[in-house]
Each structure stands twice: as C-alpha cells, then as structure tokens.
Amino acid sequence: MTINKMTQFVITLVLLDCLVIPFILGAFYPKYSHMKMVLSVLGAKKSPVRLVYNFWMACLGIGFIIIGFKLFASYKSTWYIPSMLLLMVTISYAILDCLVSSIFSVGDSKEMLTLAEKLHGYGSAIGCTLFVLGGLFATMLLWKNHPLAARWLLICWLMAILTFGLFVTGDDVAQTASGFKKLLIYNGFWQRISFLLMYIPHIVLSLLKE
C-alpha cells in the first residue's frame, strides 16, 4: 500500500463513517434522528439496520488497525515515542469502540443493565477518550518538519476536545432543555463533529509522509 493509496483508504473510511453509512442506514430507520441520536443507536437491539451497522463497525475497526500500523511504520523513524503512542490509541479505538461495539450492541435505553451493554458502554467510552489524544501525538510528529500543519492539527485537537466534551455532557441533558443546554441535546451532531476532528490527524499524517 503506497502512501497515496493509504490516504485514499483513510479518507474513504472517514467519509463512510461520518456521512455515507449513517445516512443510508438512517433512511431505513424512521425513528432515528441524526442530530439527537448517537451512531451506536443504529446498532441497538431494536434497530432494523442493526446487522448492517454492526458489520460496518467491525470493518471500521479492522481498517483503523491497518491505519495505525501503517502510520507507525511510516513515522517511527521521525519520533518513536509519539508514533508508538499514536499506534496505541488508534488500536484502542479500533478494538474498544469499533470491534467491541460490533459484537455487543448498545441497549434501547441509556441505562447499562446487561453485561453486553456494559461492555459496549465502557469499551466505547475508554476507546473514544483515548482516541482524542491522537491529535496531540500527530501534532508532535509534524512539529519539526511541518510546523504549519502541526499548528492546524493542534487547533483541530483542541476543537476535538471541546466537541467531544459537548457530546459527552449532552448525554445527561433533558430533551426539553432550554438556553445553552439546548445545544447539548444534539448528541448525534456533536459526536460526528468530534469524530471527524479525531480522524483528520490520520488523514494529514498519511498525506504528508514522504
């Protein structure tokens, strides 16, 4: 896989995960709200598109495992420690959020009552939280040779933290909230924005590696 093909591979995964797959599956799930519902609801027990979404999550997990190792191989000579840390958080996301979620579906309520729901909930929370750090490690890898790109990635990382925080905080906000809290009820929107910002460093790293 050349770096050009790798870049295409990363961008394809990102577009599929953030835009194409959710909107296609959402068309077959009339009760699903892209703005207010998280992506994992598409894989919930009562979802009519559960099997397709969970299969996609397995593919996404495998895809990011490949991306993680490819980027590590490309950047370990640049700075070993952050490249290894980037590999670790990418693999953690791929396994804990993607692969675990593909096997253990989220429940139909926010309460985690069964073992499967707990594995999904805690795995996703840990995997995504670690994945947020990827932007910082990507910034470190590019700081010396690509300072402008590194600065943009630093901004991207800070925005990822902000939007991920809004996504997590909104989980406990009532749908009838008003004022500033009304912004927090759009869980699905903040989740996708935060994911997109988390994916951007992987795209930039694959583009800039000589």
d(CA 27, CA 147): 43
Contact 58, 98 (CB under 8 A): yes
**How many C-beta neighbours within 10 Å does residue 126 have?**
15
pLDDT of 1 higher than 60: no
pLDDT of 173 higher than 90: no
Mean pLDDT on 1-13: 72
The mean-pLDDT minimum among 9-18, 112-121, 167-176 falls in 167-176
Written as six digits, the tokens of 178 are 């008003």
pLDDT of 143 higher than 90: yes
pLDDT at 114: 85
pLDDT classification of 3: cutoffs 50, 70, 90: low
pLDDT at 133: 97
Residues spanned by the domain of 197 = 3-208
Contact 209, 28 (CB under 8 A): no
The alpha carbon of residue 136 and the mean position of all alpha carbons in its chain are separated, in whole angstroms, by 15
d(CA 162, CA 166): 6
pLDDT, tens digit, 9 for 90 and up, residues 51-103 = 999 999 999 999 999 999 999 999 999 999 999 999 999 999 999 999 999 99
Residue type, 204: V
pLDDT at 176: 66
Mean pLDDT on 174-178: 68
Residue type, 194: S
Q: How far apart are the first and last CA of the chain?
A: 14
pLDDT of 18 higher than 90: no
pLDDT at 109: 66
Residue of higher predicted confidence among 171 and 70:
70
Domain count, the chain: 1
Q: What percent of the chain has pLDDT over 90?
A: 67
